[in-house]
Amino acid sequence: MANASRQAAWEFWGTELKRRREDAGLTQEALGRRVFVSGGYIGQFEQAIRKPQLDVAVRIDEVLQSDGFFERMWRKLIDASGFTDYFAATAELEALATKICDSDPVLVPGLLQTGAYSRAVMVATHPFTSDAELDGWVTARLERAEILKSPARPMYWAIIHEHALRTPVGGTDCMAQQLDHVAALAHSRHVLIQVVPYAQGAYAGMAKPMRLMEFEDAPPTFYTEGMFWGQLLDEPAMVKRAQATYDLLRAAALSPEASRSLIESAAESYRTT
């Protein structure tokens, strides 16, 4: 499903939510209380500004007695997005973010990946997947990265560990191209990148990747994931703790200039191997 048609479908989802909510005689605030989100969030769902998580769609069906309509449509739209169900809502929010802060202790973050690097990661984790399906996943990831080239691009800050520079994902040529790509983005000042060096030892946030996103007219969010799961949170206390962890990550990392030099040095080492 193309992005435009998928957005139109989300707008229909929101329009239908508003119609059924009003038919039930509920305000946005009243429905929000019953499904454990704010009334403002219900308004954003109705305007297709923000996409609900699956558990919220299920609770809306229960409150509005809509016979699973909102859950079924949610699942259809998420399946059409090209992303796993636990990441799809986060991917949708990327396009609305004014600021994105990523960190990864193992890999180059998705928005910075080249097609070859992305494919190598996906083949390693899904070795029995068909080439056609892999092509679709890689294309979806590269399309996401287009937001970094947009005039309205978000402020993007990434912190990666030196481990991501030294692990030859896809082989030496693939890694040289990947690190050249990251260095070029940093030089263009489209992104700000820092590296946590091996010498740092233990550091905050070393266990899992994390992402913080900020928006013009919505509360900030925090996303983290494991091998087969992901969690998107906007509860203020949790987001505040995640922001504090990211501040500690910044303190542990090299400066942007030193990080860029390390990235370029690592790229050169792959070319001369």
Does residue 266 share a domain with residue 163?
yes
Write down the pLDDT at residue 83. Answer: 64
Query: Per-residue pLDDT for 260 more than 70?
Result: yes
Please give the average per-residue pLDDT across 202-229, as a whole number. 86
Mean per-residue pLDDT over the chain, rounded: 89
CA distance 212 to 237: 13
Decide which of 55, 80, 105 is a domain's last residue. Answer: 80
Number of Cα atoms under 13 Å in the Cβ half of residue 57: 21
Task: Residue 222: give the domain boundaries.
Answer: 85-271
Write down the pLDDT at residue 79. Answer: 59
Does residue 240 share a domain with residue 208?
yes
Lowest mean pLDDT among 60-64, 143-147, 236-240: 143-147
Query: Per-residue pLDDT for 215 more than 80?
Result: yes
Does residue 17 share a domain with residue 105?
no
Decide which of 65, 80, 95 is a domain's last residue. Answer: 80
Tell me which residue has tokens 């494919």: 119
Does residue 238 share a domain with residue 107?
yes
Does residue 196 share a domain with residue 103?
yes
Does residue 232 share a domain with residue 142?
yes
* Entry pTM: 0.72
Does residue 121 share a domain with residue 179?
yes
**Residue of 217 and 16 predicted with greater confidence:** 16
Amino acid at 35: V
Does residue 131 share a domain with residue 264?
yes
The count of domains in the chain is 2
Q: Give me the numbers of helices (H) and strands (E) for the chain, helices first please.
A: 12, 6
136: helix, strand or coil: helix
Please give the average per-residue pLDDT across 259-264, as a whole number. 97
Does residue 28 share a domain with residue 117?
no
Write down the pLDDT at residue 180. Answer: 97
Does residue 71 share a domain with residue 106?
no
The CATH number for 242's domain is: 3.30.870
Q: What angle do CA 231, 226, 53 make, to 5 degrees?
A: 20
